[in-house]
Chain A
Amino acid sequence: MSSTGKIVSIHSFRGGTGKSNTTANLAAQVALAGKRVGVVDTDIQSPGIHVLFGLDESKMGKTMNDFLHDKATIREIGLPIHELVGGAEGLSKLKNAHIWLFPSSIKGRDISQILKEGIDFNKLNEGLQTTITEFDLDYLFIDTHPGLNEETLLSIATSDILIIILRPDNQDLQGTSVTVDIARSLDVPNLLLMVNKALPKYDPVEIKKGIEEQFGAPVAGVLPLSFDIADNASSDLFSLRYPDHPWSQELRKVARAVLSLE
């Protein structure tokens, strides 16, 4: 099997950076650029990205947990978001796009089963690669668990592009340096940094410059801290609903950076 689609892993060393929100919005922007896009939730212990696509358990059906336990094929798991979008103003813009979600289960029993029985990483990797070939994807976005665990390392090891999200905060900066080191040890071909929740009183150009110097990697966007995002409460894809908002404009820069990488 040979997969030509690109794997984009989105990672943050700490929680609360806006990783799932960014992943969903980036994936949507890339889909709107005419690409076939998949989004896999490998945050099996605390899944959540499905909410941003307007889904709850009643609409989810089979999940990655079923695939890992040989109870479903990848073909059965992929949810065509473009066909399922309901009334949400932002999401409805995906009607003519091609974007699938491969969710993890939000049933307590399924999560405890994974914790109890462990994970077959050969099977997880097979799932990631198969999504690309089965759905003929151009891009597969992987929403990872924050911090470093084995699922995260596997997704980093197999990715073409790694986006590390950080806040301009000393704890995030230290954690990011660990992730950058590991990404380099794993020969990830393309590493991008994205700053989120930057305080408006600081100059984004200076933030970008400082972080690029510190890590020796490009910063694809500096997204401002915004109460508007908090107010959206994951009820819709913010960058689609409010395309002129400064956060959305900066996010589209990150999407363009992803699309520009060979």
Chain B
Amino acid sequence: MAGVFDRLNKEIQDKKKEGGITPLDLAGLPPALRRIMRLMLRELQAGYPRLCEIMDGMPEKDRLSREELQSTLTELTEQYWLIRIGDGEKAIYKVNLRRREGSTLMAGIWSALDEKLKNKPEGNINPEGS
């Protein structure tokens, strides 16, 4: 039987698949959203009480009111740029950055490169080839 951890982990993985924000998108966000995203990049994960505590410690000009904080978190969560795990006061928020996809070069090129590299002894890359 799946435990709580498994269920929450599946919830996170499902939500991650649904989107995520790229580092470049962060630059285009409105100031309040960007402030929370920057803060969450450093925190990695935080609950609502912790975010309130950080807000209270900020200079007044940078501070969001409780209403602004709540609406910002709601918007970020709806876009899947933040993932909310759990509900209510105990909810935890995590940043959801979009994965950079691998190269779209034909698979054959990578397998050929893999083969070449497998046959080479481990060592530093030497551009001289010697």
Which A positions have Cβ atoms within 8 angstroms of B?
1-3, 56-57, 106-109, 111-112, 115-122, 125-126, 129, 150, 153-154, 156-158, 182, 185-187
Contacts and interface: CB of A to CB of B under 8 A. Distances in A.
Contacts of B110: 112, 116
Interface in B78-130: 94-103, 110, 113-114, 117-118, 120, 122-125
Interface residues of B, number: 37
B45 interface: yes
B63 interface: no
18 contacts: A1-B43, A1-B44, A1-B45, A108-B117, A115-B103, A116-B103, A118-B101, A118-B103, A121-B97, A121-B98, A122-B95, A125-B95, A126-B44, A129-B42, A150-B24, A157-B38, A182-B27, A187-B38
B22 interface: yes
Given A118-B100, A158-B42, A112 B23 contact: no
Interface of B: 16, 20, 22-24, 26-28, 31, 34-35, 38, 41-45, 94-103, 110, 113-114, 117-118, 120, 122-125
Given A112-B113, A158-B42, A122 B124 contact: no
B38 A116 contact: no
The B interface, classified by DSSP as helix, strand, loop or mixed, is mixed
Residue of A109, A121, A125, A150 with most partner-chain B CB within 10 A: A121
Contacts of B41: 125, 129, 154, 157-158
Contact of A118 (B44, B99, B124): B99
A119 B34 contact: no
Contacts of A153: 22-24, 26-27
Q: Secondary structure at chain A's binding surface: helix, strand, loop or mixed?
A: helix
Contacts of A121: 22-23, 97-100
A254 to B, nearest CB: 24
A186 B96 contact: no
Nearest to B44: A1
Given A121-B100, A153-B23, A185-B28, A109 B114 contact: yes
B99 A186 contact: no
A3 B45 CA distance: 12
Contact of A108 (B16, B43, B125): B125
Contacts of B102: 115-118
B44 to A, nearest CB: 5
Contacts of A129: 41-42, 44
Contacts of A115: 102-103
Given A1-B45, A121-B100, A187-B34, 7 more contacts: A107-B125, A108-B125, A109-B114, A116-B103, A118-B103, A154-B41, A158-B42
B117 A112 contact: yes
Which among B24, B98, B114 has the highest number of chain A CB atoms within 10 Å?
Answer: B24
A119 B26 CA distance: 17
A106 B124 contact: yes
Given A1-B43, A187-B34, A119 B99 contact: yes
B2 to A, nearest CB: 21
Given A1-B44, A57-B122, A116-B110, A185 B27 contact: yes
A123 B43 CA distance: 14
